[in-house]
A and B are shown apart, each in its own frame.
Chain A
Amino acid sequence: DQQVKQNSPSLSVQEGRISILNCDYTNSMFDYFLWYKKYPAEGPTFLISISSIKDKNEDGRFTVFLNKSAKHLSLHIVPSQPGDSAVYFCAASAGNQFYFGTGTSLTVIP
C-alpha cells in the first residue's frame, strides 16, 4: 500500500506565478519529509526537507509546509520559473528508510 501519495500527476503553471505541489502520507511514525526534483534521464536530486517538529521550512523560492494533524505537506515555488519544470517527488522517512510518492510533473509555461 502506498504510504506516501501525490494525487496530482501533473500541474501546469504560468511563469512568475506560484506552484503548489501536494503530498499526503498515512504513517504517523514518519518524522522527516523531503522533496526531490527529477529531470528526464537523471536521478532525483534533493530539494528541501522539513522535520516533523516544524511546520514550515523556507529556502529561497521554495517553501515546504507540514500539517501533521492532516498528514499533509506541500511545496510552494514562487515565483515559478521555466527551469523548475520537472517531476517532483515527495518522500517521508522513518528511521533511515525513505518512502516516495508517485511524483507530480510540473510544467512552468513561459
Chain B
Amino acid sequence: DAGVIQSPRHEVTEMGQEVTLRCKPISGHNSLFWYRQTMMRGLELLIYFNNNVPIDDSGMPEDRFSAKMPNASFSTLKIQPSEPRDSAVYFCASSQQGALGKAFFGQGTRLTVV
C-alpha cells in the first residue's frame, strides 16, 4: 500500500484566497483525521471522520475551515478565505477502527499564506 497520500506537498497562496488540501487514506481504513502542526500547539486535531461521517469537528478553528469526505478514499480540507495565521503543516491520518488506535500519517501539506 502507498500509505496515506496528501496533495499538494507545498502550497503558497495569498491572503483571502481559497485553499483546498487533499487526502487519500489507506485502503480499508475507516477513520480519517486532519491535524495541524504548529510550534505552539504541536499536532492539533481539527476534525475526525468515521465511515465518511464527521464525528468531531470541535477542533476546527473557525468557520473559514471546512472538511468533507465524499467517499472512503478521499477527503478535503478547505480554508476560505485563508489568512497568514493559517500557515502551518497540515497532516492527514487514517486508521482502522479497532486496530488498537494506531494511526498512519501522510507526509503533510506545508501551507504558507502571504
Contacts and interface: CB of A to CB of B under 8 A. Distances in A.
Contacts, number: 63
B26 interface: no
Contacts of B4: 43
Contact of A99 (B45, B102, B104): B45
A89 B35 CA distance: 13
Interface in A63-101: 89, 91, 93, 96-101
Contacts of A98: 33, 45, 93, 101, 103
B25 interface: no
Contacts of B108: 42-43
A79 B72 CA distance: 42
Interface in A43-59: 43-46, 49, 51
Contacts of A46: 102-104
A4 B105 CA distance: 19
B50 to A, nearest CB: 7
> Looking at chain B, what size class is its interface with the partner chain?
20 to 34
B56 interface: yes
B40 interface: yes
A46 B94 CA distance: 12
B43 to A, nearest CB: 4
B91 A96 contact: no
B90 to A, nearest CB: 11
A108 interface: no
Contact of B56 (A44, A93, A97, A101): A97
Contacts of B33: 97-98
B19 to A, nearest CB: 19
A34 interface: yes
A100 B35 contact: yes
Interface of A: 2, 6, 32, 34, 36, 41-46, 49, 51, 89, 91, 93, 96-103
Given A32-B100, A97-B45, 4 more contacts: A32-B101, A44-B105, A46-B102, A96-B95
